[in-house]
Chains A and B, each alone.
Chain A
């Protein structure tokens, strides 16, 4: 009797949902078709179109568009920019998440708000901030010109603007994770005689590695794809200060559609790769978040 009951319960869980909770067959099918149509039109069709348009004049033309010097330089610049954003923002994200979750200090809420700032500011404004600061007419412009330091319309400006825009990704990913984990393991490590560094490398980092990687993937994707902020500070110098998204724009504006789509397909590949990596890391991450079943309320006093 007991066994049959369990079997029925299981079949209900796995198979059809309980009748009371479901809609008539035709509504279910209508909703499914609607959802598929929506995804088809807004996601798959554009995606397919990118590759169709890119290969319109044949594979030879496609590879030519990717291999030409301006495109190669754009790829290089994009990779350099992404590299800096990932490195800086990982370090910054770790440090800020560590500070926010493991310590009490005045101004903590202000810091959290500041970390979110890039999400709330339009990317164009983010770019303009740096033009107003380092541009020729900007605050530090004259001094920079005197010392022959190029920031705006050069690599440092592009990196700075991208850093600003991708600032929150890692810390936003880590803060909730580290909050959830608390600092008991770190305390245990300290009492066992570990130094700050030993605690970080042996206890904290292994506990957050998948969350960190997740944040890095998102940060990297955004860094490579950033258009607005970079567009303002780059100056669009072909072969010199054009990143991939800017290069796509230039080609498109020159009515060189096939080349534009060919380069765009590179960014699309990147997006697909990111999705794949995200899915892989995400499943690991989900496992990590299954913490030991302990009661959360702890008697701190």
Chain B
């Protein structure tokens, strides 16, 4: 089942939470809605679920208009950040809830609940109460509860937000596997870009109530559409300079070819990733001279702060193996080139 929203708007007491958002998610897709807190992503998700009514715009589920349909009529599964399990009910009853309110037979209910219990690997836990489960187990029960009535759409609101890093990792894997098995159209909200990139095949990035970019993880990473995305996704260097002559900008020793359509003196901001800095001990080609000012170990990569003169610094990242083989150390003279960058004009 597909989800389509058109020109959705929602405000709370004058605060514009969601502004003119349109998007279409295909049947069976797994999409992440990524953004900083307060960007409107949860509000958008809640509108799709029927937990908030939009001020204007339309929501279509499988081509059916559902903008004002009750939560009940939408056949949507929703997983809350803090699980929202019914704490006075056992695991069994929690999962069975959506089936009981639909007046299914006891046999159907039991079969479905046990099927889901094995799917979430919690067989034997059916008589426990939510308070007797760990965070990761609770979240799995919450997912099973949402899936029990066979929803056509699964919405997850920061599903791993309240869990520790290790459990998050496991649940990500698990959600991916689950999606492969069930193939339910899934949209999940997260503020963790790593999570979005790893899990989703498509990412919608929201900021200030608007969708700023809609693309695959690679597109989002390599072709940021806006300033915001360039600095929000992944680690990045940014430098402010201006177009010095047609098609060219200069910053320290670096020269950047820019869109020739940009007028001379136009103020611009150039973004480039630390791993797009090509750094060697010997001069190879088109590189500028730099000095290693500081070294930081970041696990599998090593980050260098490079002094390129005139009190200007950039950061460069190199895989640990390469860096160790090259034997870079603080104070050493090196050569660096920027192999990929993005230019955005600044408002003057």
Contact = CB atoms under 8 A, between A and B. Distances in A.
A291 B82 CA distance: 12
Interface string A186-210: 0111111111001000110011000
A295 interface: yes
A192 B43 contact: no
A300 interface: yes
From B42, B43, B84, name the one whose CB has the most chain A CB atoms within 10 angstroms.
Answer: B84
A234 to B, nearest CB: 43
Interface of B: 12, 17, 37-43, 49-51, 70-72, 74-78, 80-88, 97-98, 100-102, 130-131, 138, 145-146, 148-149, 158, 161-162
A106 to B, nearest CB: 12
Nearest to B130: A292
Contacts of A18: none
A291 B87 contact: yes
Contacts of B76: 191
B101 A193 contact: yes
Contacts of B100: 202
Contacts of A206: 88
A68 interface: no
Contact of B101 (A194, A292, A300): A194
Given A292-B83, A292-B131, A298-B81, A190 B51 contact: yes
A294 interface: yes
Given A292-B87, A301-B42, A187 B80 contact: yes
B162 A185 contact: no
A299 interface: yes
Given A202-B97, A294-B162, A299-B37, A191 B71 contact: yes
A30 B48 CA distance: 67
A194 to B, nearest CB: 4
A166 to B, nearest CB: 28
User: What 4 A-B pairs come out closest when comparing CB atoms?
Assistant: A192-B98, A184-B84, A294-B82, A188-B84
B17 A191 contact: no
Nearest to B78: A191
From A185, A203, A292, A294, name the one whose CB has the most chain B CB atoms within 10 angstroms.
Answer: A292
11 contacts: A188-B78, A189-B101, A191-B74, A191-B76, A192-B98, A194-B97, A194-B101, A198-B101, A292-B87, A301-B38, A301-B41
B347 to A, nearest CB: 26
Contacts of B82: 184, 292, 294-295, 298
B71 A207 contact: no
B113 to A, nearest CB: 13
A185 B51 contact: no
B185 to A, nearest CB: 15
Contact of B42 (A202, A294, A299): A299
A184 B84 CA distance: 6
Given A184-B84, A195-B72, A189 B37 contact: no
A299 B162 contact: no
Interface in A254-301: 290-292, 294-295, 298-301
Contacts of B145: 188, 192
A301 B39 contact: yes
A203 B88 CA distance: 8
Nearest to B18: A301
B39 A189 contact: no
A185 B130 CA distance: 13
Contacts of A294: 82-83, 162
